[in-house]
Structure 1
């Protein structure tokens, strides 16, 4: 045990957070993967419900020649999707709780953690929506800012009559675009750092309020948001090979199904469709594998933040 109440900048380095998350994952691999597989199954259920909606809606239209007959099917799909998303959000929070309780030297079984968090299922759904909404607003506003800067740069070049075909000018424009994109991503990560551990208050503390959990996350992360953002960036780089393994076949499949050659040759389209399906499956497998790692990172960061603010003993 180590107690640290005085250090205002944090007790764990970025490397230690990643190392501890890996250790937690390895020592609880079966339990975490069990919950992660359950959460991923809810995503598959959403896809299956969507395909079923299209099929049933098409059949009903064939009989009635009116899309109004499909309204009950659409409403059923909306209700099912909300339910599946709520279960998905809850399972993700369960992994956070399991990791946190392990750090707190009070480990729980999957059944106990599920029993504790299941009554807060709809709260976790509201929480995920609010965080997604905040990130969307930040992304949209900052993206508009990037576009404005690009247009201003183009206008200045036009006023000064700078030849854009010039190699040096083209290089500078390309470099400016890369810098702006990197700054845009950095800004998104920086703001996400405020809400990174927002699942944990609802998963650990006695609250069912999504707004309180978000405020609590911002309160804890406020003074060390840069450090949390750096942890997120390092975690992203560590997991990038796994998260991107489904992108290559999906990209190739999209090219094969949308190109002129693919549209002429049915066999090429079939192969492209199979590649996209394979990419989707690989993406699901990647999500299944890395979800416990990310949730463990959140639990460690939350524990560390509470340790600094509230003097909780931290097991290392």
Structure 2
């Protein structure tokens, strides 16, 4: 683990941008360790049920290591595993409970939105936009067509918001739910969800912005990996054209192999980054709401940071 967390960028109050910067610093400083834990986590997914629990344990382990480092209480991976291991099944049960809550919220949103559309006869409203699709109308009334198109897009956005906003809001409230379970004492699968709910109150938009910024941060990598897959597939098909012509299934097998390999690589890289983000958000929210109560040991100096 790195020991450079007392550098100025990490002791200043953390804005939305600073959260991402601190996350990048932690991620880069401990990249090799985090990637090893992340790879192990995904390998555990091959084992049904228990392996899924171990995946969640290793994911939470990354958050705990990052959180301890933010607290200037660097912890060995062995000690961290010893602390988290007894809670293995709690991580799985908490994840199942959260998944059920999110699924129920999504289903209810779809039902209510469907009822609203049926009651308001939205199909008749949408039918009024049919003339816009006429090429002659668009050519003769370009400004009107653009105006109606904007209205149509706004209606579509409102519709999508009604479908997914409640689930997205609920997910944001439970975004850091596994971090308390990995870091606090006297906590279980229910109280860890309650802790996340309490700490993230009023931070929906900030959490969403952090997630969006992180997504765009990794977008170049996603594009590069996609182009890499396409390049490998093209090169393989050229170099092994004779073999593929003799065994047509070979092409499909090779494509699937490369696709799965790139997908695994992508997942292994992304998991630690987002687990560290959760640790940084959790750290700041606890400082903001609980102050000195964040200390894990009396000897740790208090550092005032905050999400602004």
Which of 298, 303, 307 pairs up with 1:314?
Answer: 303
Which of 18, 38, 41 pairs up with 1:39?
Answer: 41
CA distance in 1, matches of 2:184, 2:69: 16
Q: Do the aligned partners of 1:142 and 1:184 also contact (CA within 8 Å) in 2?
A: yes
1:277 corresponds to 2:257? yes
Aligned to 2:205: 226
1:165-204 correspondence runs (5 A): 165-166=133-134, 168=145, 172-173=151-152, 176-178=155-157, 180-181=159-160, 184=163, 187-204=166-183
CA distance in 1, matches of 2:129, 2:183: 61
Which of 112, 123, 129 pairs up with 2:79?
Answer: 112
Residue deviations 1:216-258 (CA, integer Å, cap 9, x gap): 10001112222222222222332344457667869xx9xxxxx
TM-score normalised by L of structure 2: 0.73
CA distance in 2, matches of 1:161, 1:26: 51
1:28 corresponds to 2:30? yes
Cα separation, partners in 2 of 1:116 and 1:150, compared to 1, 3 Å: same
Q: Give how far 1:144 is off.
A: 4.2
Residue deviations 1:231-288 (CA, integer Å, cap 9, x gap): 22222332344457667869xx9xxxxxxxxxxx996654234323322221111111
CA RMSD of aligned residues (A): 3.2
1:12 corresponds to 2:1? no
Aligned to 1:215: 194
Q: Give how far 1:209 is off.
A: 1.4
Q: Do the aligned partners of 1:246 and 1:281 also contact (CA within 8 Å) in 2?
A: no
Q: Which stretches in structure 2 are left out of the alignment for 5+ residues?
A: 1-5, 139-144, 234-244, 293-301
CA distance in 1, matches of 2:54, 2:199: 26
Aligned to 2:124: 155
Cα separation, partners in 2 of 1:220 and 1:175, compared to 1, 3 Å: closer
Cα separation, partners in 2 of 1:269 and 1:149, compared to 1, 3 Å: farther
Residue deviations 1:120-158 (CA, integer Å, cap 9, x gap): 000000111122222222333334455556664323344
Cα separation, partners in 2 of 1:84 and 1:161, compared to 1, 3 Å: closer
CA distance in 2, matches of 1:106, 1:161: 62
How many pairs are equivalent?
A: 260
Q: Which stretches in structure 1 are left out of the alignment for 5+ residues?
A: 3-9, 47-80, 254-264
Aligned to 2:141: none
TM-score normalised by L of structure 1: 0.71
Cα separation, partners in 2 of 1:98 and 1:172, compared to 1, 3 Å: same
